[in-house]
Chain A
Amino acid sequence: MTEHICTAVQQGGESTIWTCEVTLNVTCNGGGGGDLPDGGDPGGGTGGNDDDDEDSNGGGGSTGGGSKGITTDPILGTCIETNTCEEDKIINELTGKADCVYQKMVNGNNSINWILENFEDTLTTSSEFDLILQMSNTLGSETNASTVRSGDTFTISINEYRAENINTALTIARTIIHEGIHARLREFASREGSDETSFPGVYDYFRIYAKNWDHQQMADHYRSTIAEGLKEYDNSQNSDSFYNALAWEGLAEIKDLNGDQDIIYTLAWSQLSPAQQQEILAIISTEKQNGDKNCQE
């Protein structure tokens, strides 16, 4: 492979465009607007309900910043970033069963890949944020996982004890997708220049629910994303209603982050009839009791 160093031909406030000797322009990370390609918004507004979450397929959108080290492949006619670029990326530090479940999902055609793509750099886009997936021994014993932002990194921590000893493989899959959606939504909201015009749904939920916005938005709009991911992971062995029920865990009763951490019901859950709630809880309970706790590689 012959290397051709690309040169910067334009440097605006938000992006640097690199011109390579072949044909393509490649941008490296750092800064960047990050509009959705179709100008859509995750989850829609609060007016809708129940799983109309096939929102715009976000991706990085426009990016920029200064960086060196882009090489070209004259045979393929494509530019390749080298290690001199500061890469935003997904760092998988999961172990054991959680890692097994995660690997199976990312290697399949799972919705987790769509969720994670906000954090992946491609030839044409780059993410402002890193995503770390790690095991944790410092979560409460009733907490399957958490997603925390520090700096330009979102960290998904999976409760190691629960993953290894209590939860079924499908529960772990659900947890990873659930946390991935947290990270994705918060990534949208955290992008430089993000506002109510670029992501009206997110801002609408924040205006109404303040710190509880993402759980409420997920309960309204993202349960089908979780259910579809579970169905794919599980090779469609069960009915759609089974996967839809599992998607509710973590989205029915939540801590009220705006107050004294009392428990509240999400609006979507409280709109179900008692019979519907009981049916869902029974399915979740049966899965916990009888579901497969092993993850076959």
Chain B
Amino acid sequence: MLLICCVICWNMFSQKKQIQYFLVSKNDTLIKTQLATKANQYEGYLIINEKKTIKKAIRPSNLAGKDILKDSFEEIYFSFNRNNDTIVGKSYYDKLNIIKTRREFLQINKQIDETRNEFIFIEPVDCEKFILRRVTPIIFE
């Protein structure tokens, strides 16, 4: 009985996040990278899901105006800090279980659940080197 309790407790409190590795394709126009500028230090990715339509509120340009709701493709934002990037070689890269297309990534992540998943995006430097970049989904309110 004690053993069962221990196992249940272990399962409850040791929920490790699953790490997802996603290869960012430069050729996919529905993945956008926002890089830091002098005026805006934020860096991150935007992944557009053209298969899912959401309602987006467009703010009026006057303070007391009314919003306009319009249909829009779902947009998923991830931020990163390049100071935490790691560079790995081909042999390390080859051992990873990598999601290689945006469609596959969105299929797996129908809902972005940051409590169960960690996301590492991969950007190739050249054929032998890859950047592993930990990203965090941005939650909007």
Contact = CB atoms under 8 A, between A and B. Distances in A.
Contact of B137 (A136, A142, A194): A142
Interface string A132-165: 0000101111111110111100000000011001
Nearest to A249: B139
Interface residues of B, number: 36
Given A264-B42, A270-B41, A288-B114, A148 B74 contact: no
B7 interface: no
Nearest to A263: B42
A22 to B, nearest CB: 37
Contact of B74 (A141, A145, A257): A141
Contact of B64 (A150, A189, A289): A189
Given A263-B138, A264-B40, A265-B41, A151 B115 contact: no
Contacts of A136: 55
Interface in B70-114: 74-77, 79, 109-114
B interface: dominant SS? loop
A165 B69 contact: no
A68 to B, nearest CB: 29
Closest 3 CB pairs of A and B: A250-B141, A138-B55, A211-B59
Contacts, number: 101
A254 B79 CA distance: 11
A253 B57 CA distance: 18
A203 B141 contact: no
Nearest to A212: B59
A143 B40 contact: no
Interface in A91-144: 136, 138-144
Nearest to A293: B115
A82 interface: no
A255 B140 contact: yes
Given A142-B77, A263-B77, A253 B42 contact: yes
Given A144-B139, A288-B114, A150 B66 contact: yes
Contacts of A203: 63
A213 B63 CA distance: 9
Contact of B54 (A139, A150, A206): A139
B44 interface: yes
Contact of A194 (B54, B64, B138): B64
Contacts of A142: 76-77, 112, 137-140
Nearest to B72: A140
Contacts of A265: 40-42
A255 B111 CA distance: 20
